[in-house]
Amino acid sequence: MKLIKKQKNKKADIIQNQIPWIYSDVVKEHFFNPKNFLKLEEEKKFKFNAYGEAGSPACGDLMKFWLWIDPKTEKIKQCRWRTFGCGSAIASTSVLSIMITEKDGMKINEAIKIKPQDIIKRLSGLPDIKIHCSVLGDQALRNAIDNYLKK
Amino acid sequence: MKRVYLDYAAATPVRPEVHQFIKPFATNNFGNPSAIYLEGRIAKQALEQSREMVAKNLNCRPHEIIFTNGGTESINLAIFGIARAYKKFFKEPRLITSRIEHPAILEPMKQLAKEGFDIKYISTNKFGEVNLSELKKYLNPQTILVSIMYANNEIGTIQPIEKISTIIKKFRKNKYLPFFHTDACQAANYLDINVNHLNVDFMTLNGGKIYAPKASGILYKKSGLSIDPIIFGGGQEKNLRSGTENLTSWMGLAKALDLTQKEKAIEIKKVKQLRDYLQKNILKIPQTFINGHPTKRLPNNINVIISDVEGESLILELDKAGIAASTGSACHSQSLEPSHVLKSLGWSREKIHGSLRFTLGKYTTKKEIDYVIKMLPKIVQKLRNLSAIKTI
């Protein structure tokens, strides 16, 4: 009896795994396991010297970035974010947070050059309909860097 | 894990009794009902028996039933069929509908506006009930059709169809026009579809929502009313819907309709109990708001706004947890426009993005609802933790 049940489950899994998800595997990973978002408990503890946001709740997407930029090297050492939005909006913010902090951190003069296409490429693509609305992370990032430079 | 399917307003499975009933006509009795040899006559007989079965359940005569390939097609036939047949008699022909209709109504209306028709859209209150005094205001001697849905697909609000038909009857006195059509696609499982009670001239039903195969529908057209066809060809369905009869699906629709009408009272009680239980528990999540009318609502519908989260994200997380539901968020739609129904209730775009719809059905169990009650708060919390909007 147990064996039959197991086999049945296995079959169902195979069927499900053959059905493509609506986004790429990279989007899937970042949506379900988002990296570097600002947790409630770190709210007061997280040290930052740059803040920026982009989008609007009415349009369905709002992104916020908090950065710690090393004043000597001008590299982004730490990054936190929060996003209100659909799957691709959350995933695109998460992947951008990795792009700017990996390998010892990205210099801010490099970071301001990041385009939506760079983020989409790193996500292994997005459906056409989502490209315009859900990739706002680069704007939020530039706003944060502007905020730092004005200080 | 077994899936928990809570999107019965989108699609229903074909129920086993219906499947059994139509099987022989998919394989053995496949003849074309227009043929005069035996295979054709067998098919023709099944077609006419199906028509009788539908008519019996609507309390009308068989020749008042036109089979079509779905709800959208029935509605298009009613709207364009009426508009084209009567346009020539009026200078400024008017069509009246509501703001919360299905796109199958609203898009034909938009098209007819381009063709010179004067379209009036009745607004609703915050529960989604149409404003009857607006209807009275809009009715004029140029009006040829009023089309108001019976029950809304998103929020489940039920419209007072009998009251509306009384208003229209009173207005037209002893004239034919304006006609009254109701889209009853979501209503057939739970509401009274007796056309004499409802007093409608046209009514649309959809098999895909009542446990029959998809791409099956009917248009009820009151005896003696004449409309133009929109599909031209071999002249099937009294010349109003050319094309070889979709016999198995139509038989399925008839059988399913017969069963739903017989089981209605029991089904309402069962599904309402589960719905109320789920609703009560969803409302325990802070900053959640139920849409639709508190009582005049389909017993299987819950449409809830969950602040600070976006609908597509909710659907993706629920899907991963094995639960199928729906949302009115723009990010989930092809048009990238948030739900026009929720807009009509007065919600801001931001809130509409956080709407979630569960529609229960025949096969929904208490165990499934308990699982949703367990998973949903966790999912909402996870997304609220990442959210850039914090109402609480």
Chain B residues whose beta carbon lies within 8 Å of the beta carbon of residue A22: 316
**Mind telling me how many Å the CA of B359 is from chain A's nearest CA?**
22
Is B385's CB within 8 Å of A85's CB? no
User: Which H or E run contains A35?
Assistant: none
The mean pLDDT of B92-115, rounded to a whole number, is: 97
Distance CA B216, CA B234 (A): 19
Residue B191 falls in which region: left (phi positive, over 0), alpha (psi -120 to 50) or beta: beta
The C-alpha atoms of residue B391 and residue B287 are separated, in whole angstroms, by 8
pLDDT per 10-residue tile (average), chain A, 151 residues: 44 60 90 94 90 87 92 93 93 94 91 91 87 80 91 77
Instruction: Return the closest-CA partner of residue B148 out of B92, B109, B91, B197.
Output: B109
- Residue of chain A whose Cα is closest to the Cα of B386: A82
Q: What is the pLDDT of residues A90-134, one digit of tens each?
A: 999 999 999 999 999 999 998 899 999 999 999 998 888 887 766
CATH superfamily, domain B4-11+265-386, is Aspartate Aminotransferase, domain 1 (3.90.1150.10)
Q: What is the pLDDT of residues B1-30, one digit of tens each?
A: 689 999 999 999 999 999 999 999 999 999
**What's the fold here for domain A22-150?**
Sufe protein. Chain: A (3.90.1010)
Asked about A133 being catalytic, the answer comes back as yes
| Domain ranges, ordered by start, for chain B | 4-11+265-386, 16-259
**The pLDDT value given to residue A2:** 43
B207, two tokens: 């098999």
Asked whether the predicted pLDDT for residue B124 surpasses 80, the reply is yes
Mean pLDDT across the stretch B159-187? Answer: 96
What does pTM read for this prediction?
Answer: 0.93
How high is the pLDDT of residue B332? 64
How many C-beta atoms surround the C-beta of residue B300 within 10 A? 25
Contacts of B20 (CB under 8 A, 6+ apart): none
Q: What is the mean pLDDT of residues B228-254?
A: 97
What is the band of B354 on the pLDDT scale with cuts at 50, 70, 90?
very high
Task: Return d(Cα B333, Cα B353) in angstroms, integer.
Answer: 11
pLDDT score, position B294? 96
What CATH architecture does domain B16-259 belong to? 3-Layer(aba) Sandwich (3.40)
Choose, out of B353, B378, B380, B384, the residue to mutate when testing the contact with A (most A CBs < 10 Å). Answer: B353
Closest residue by Cα to residue A85 from A21, A130, A117, A28 = A130
The pLDDT tens digits for B125-154 are: 999 999 999 999 999 999 999 999 999 999
Mutation test of the interface with chain A: which of B5, B308, B309, B316, choosing the one with the most A Cβ atoms within 10 A? B316
Other C-beta atoms lying within 10 Å of the C-beta of residue A151: 9
Burial code of B38-55, b = ≥16 C-beta within 10 A, e = fewer?
eeeebbbebbeebbebbb
Helices (H), B115-246: 132-138, 161-172, 195-198
Which member of A12, A22, A59, A149 is catalytic? Answer: A59
Domain boundaries, chain A: 22-150
Range in A25-29, B84-88, B254-258 with the lowest mean pLDDT: A25-29
Of chain B, the percentage scoring pLDDT greater than 90 comes to 94
